[in-house]
A = this chain, B = another copy of it.
Amino acid sequence: MNPKNFDFASQIISSNYLEISKEGEQQYQKLIRELLTSRSVPLEGLSVRTIKRIILDLSSLDTNNFLNNIGVGEREGRIFSSYVQDRMSGLSHGVGRSGDVSAEQPKAAGSSLIVKLTTRMALQILKASGLTSIKSCLILPLATGMSLGMCFLTLLSQVKTKKVRPRYVIWSRIDQKTCLKSIISFGFEPVIIDCIPDGDQLTTDLESITTKITELGQENIFCIVSTTSCFSPRVPDRVVEVSKICKSNNVPHVINNAYGVQCSTTTSLITQATKQGRVDFIVQSTDKNFMVPVGGSVVASTDKKLIKRLSQTYPGRASIEPILNLFCTFLEMGMNGWKLLLKQRKQNFDYFINQMKDFCLQNDFTILKTPKNKISFAISLEKYSNLSKKNKDVGMIGSMLFRRACTGQRVFKKGIEKQIMEYNFKNYGAHTKNYPREYLTLSCAIGMTKKQINIFIKRLQSVIKEFEK
């Protein structure tokens, strides 16, 4: 209520009581002011009630929510379904304009504010998580695969004047389809560099990368894609060294940092890479790092202009939902909440490994030594290596866990050959042609709790027992 309406209200109820409400209202307006001026994640998380009010107040700035709006165009933010209307709080115009996906919309000042604020908050959160050298970021309402593609299109727009369009993307192999597909779908030819062993670990084959550049010709290399979050025994790519290669060869470098924001070791590695070599885009998933539904990613860069160009490369408007979810999450979590989550993840990772050490001791397993992977670890299933003769298959362990409502574990089983588009992969799942052992990979990602770890181990125990019967 504005001050005048407070006056009118005081003709209905005592102005004494309203006086204190006025001050209460000022507290709220002060909070909004702080949001608008600091453009930061609040230190302490806000209540859902307050967040809903903020969303409602901001969405009221969009023309389609005006009480007297008349639309005589073709895209007027009309919402037929009252349930959809409620879900979206009337935010209907999406984000962006035809010229720029981060542009303000004349018809939707509220949506535009949400986009701007959330982008600033995301930048702040990324920096607070260790990506200290980045200067700008863009939240795309696209998951990481499509976002990688948009990064490629942006880089493409910079090489258009070149006579020959470079066609090769050098890609340090990670056995997850999306990244490979984004290279191929967006019209490039992947050059797959298998990982190489480093003890139990699998790491980047820098030598092969350099060799390939020479072999194919620097001018034909569109970019290099490295990955910093992955399942053990693969460890984050050696991005510092890769970025140096990129710099010295003048080749763009895109880092697929899907869920690496939650791990300070990874983010500081990337920061070093940006300082010592060349990194064009760093792509991170919103769902994997910030616990929102799938559908968004944050692309960051040390170069503001690159982000601006990315934003301008995106044709047309897009859904506001992934940004809205992030906005609500940042507000509900607060900076303190985020830092607590990071701290707890670290502690829980240690706890998980320690508990699994006991489990392994009791069950005659070993944990693979992959100290460079701080999110995931693997248990060798070597002891079952002769099982297949008995018609048993270690892959069953995964599905038995799944049937017990455990999700996310992965069992690597030797000998799986897989074709993705026209590319063949031996020992798919292992990120390399040969890995000596079969294993079970587990992660301790952000949001996991000690209680869940304990329950998981119990279920794993019962699965192992049944499997070994």
Say if the beta carbon of A384 comes within 8 Å of chain B: no
Smallest Cβ distance from A306 to chain B, in angstroms?
A: 15
CB neighbours of A320 from chain B (8 A): 293-295
Q: How far is the CA of A143 from the CA of B141 in the complex (A)?
A: 11
Q: How far is the CA of A350 from the CA of B19 in the complex (A)?
A: 34
CB neighbours of A141 from chain B (8 A): 141, 295, 319
Contact A14 B78 (CB under 8 A): no
Say if the beta carbon of A288 comes within 8 Å of chain B: yes
Say if the beta carbon of A186 comes within 8 Å of chain B: yes
A25 interface neighbour in B60, B90, B459, Cβ under 8 Å = B60
Q: How far is the CA of A280 from the CA of B7 in the complex (A)?
A: 36
Contact A74 B17 (CB under 8 A): no
Say if the beta carbon of A233 comes within 8 Å of chain B: no
CB neighbours of A98 from chain B (8 A): 145, 176-178, 181
17 A-B pairs besides A18-B109, A160-B187 with CB distance below 8 A are A1-B32, A8-B37, A18-B61, A21-B61, A24-B405, A49-B90, A72-B406, A74-B375, A78-B291, A80-B333, A81-B329, A107-B407, A141-B319, A153-B185, A157-B184, A182-B316, A185-B313
Say if the beta carbon of A315 comes within 8 Å of chain B: yes
A332 interface neighbour in B81, B88, B292, Cβ under 8 Å = B81
A407 interface neighbour in B76, B99, B317, B442, Cβ under 8 Å = B76
How many of chain A's residues touch chain B, expressed as a range?
Answer: 35 or more
Q: How far is the CA of A249 from the CA of B149 in the complex (A)?
A: 31
Contact B67 A24 (CB under 8 A): yes
**This protein's copies in its complex:** 4
Q: How far is the CA of A319 from the CA of B8 in the complex (A)?
A: 26
Complex interface residues of chain A between 176 and 212 (CB less than 8 A to chain B):
176-179, 181-182, 184-187
Q: How far is the CA of A317 from the CA of B376 in the complex (A)?
A: 22
Can you list 24 A-B contacts (CB < 8 A)? A1-B61, A5-B36, A8-B37, A9-B36, A13-B113, A13-B116, A23-B405, A24-B63, A28-B67, A48-B85, A53-B60, A70-B455, A72-B408, A79-B293, A80-B332, A94-B293, A141-B141, A143-B316, A143-B319, A178-B317, A179-B315, A294-B320, A295-B321, A321-B321
CB neighbours of A186 from chain B (8 A): 153, 315
CB neighbours of A79 from chain B (8 A): 291-293
Contact B27 A72 (CB under 8 A): no
CB neighbours of A99 from chain B (8 A): 177, 181, 420
- Given A8-B36, A94-B287, A99-B181, also A73-B294 (CB < 8 A): no
Say if the beta carbon of A386 comes within 8 Å of chain B: no
Contact B333 A319 (CB under 8 A): no
Say if the beta carbon of A75 comes within 8 Å of chain B: yes
Q: How far is the CA of A112 from the CA of B9 in the complex (A)?
A: 10
Contact A146 B403 (CB under 8 A): no
Q: How far is the CA of A355 from the CA of B307 in the complex (A)?
A: 48
Smallest Cβ distance from A460 to chain B, in angstroms?
A: 9
Contact A48 B82 (CB under 8 A): yes
Say if the beta carbon of A20 comes within 8 Å of chain B: yes
Binds B, one of A128-136, A359-367, A444-452, A461-469: A444-452
CB neighbours of A144 from chain B (8 A): 316
- Given A74-B375, A177-B99, also A294-B315 (CB < 8 A): no
Complex interface residues of chain A between 268 and 290 (CB less than 8 A to chain B):
285, 287-288, 290
CB neighbours of A49 from chain B (8 A): 56, 65, 85-86, 89-90
CB neighbours of A97 from chain B (8 A): 177
Smallest Cβ distance from A53 to chain B, in angstroms?
A: 5
Q: How far is the CA of A184 from the CA of B160 in the complex (A)?
A: 10
A145 interface neighbour in B78, B85, B184, B315, Cβ under 8 Å = B315
CB neighbours of A184 from chain B (8 A): 157
- Given A75-B288, A320-B295, also A109-B375 (CB < 8 A): no
A14 interface neighbour in B17, B62, B104, Cβ under 8 Å = B104
Contact B51 A83 (CB under 8 A): yes
Smallest Cβ distance from A65 to chain B, in angstroms?
A: 7
Smallest Cβ distance from A74 to chain B, in angstroms?
A: 5
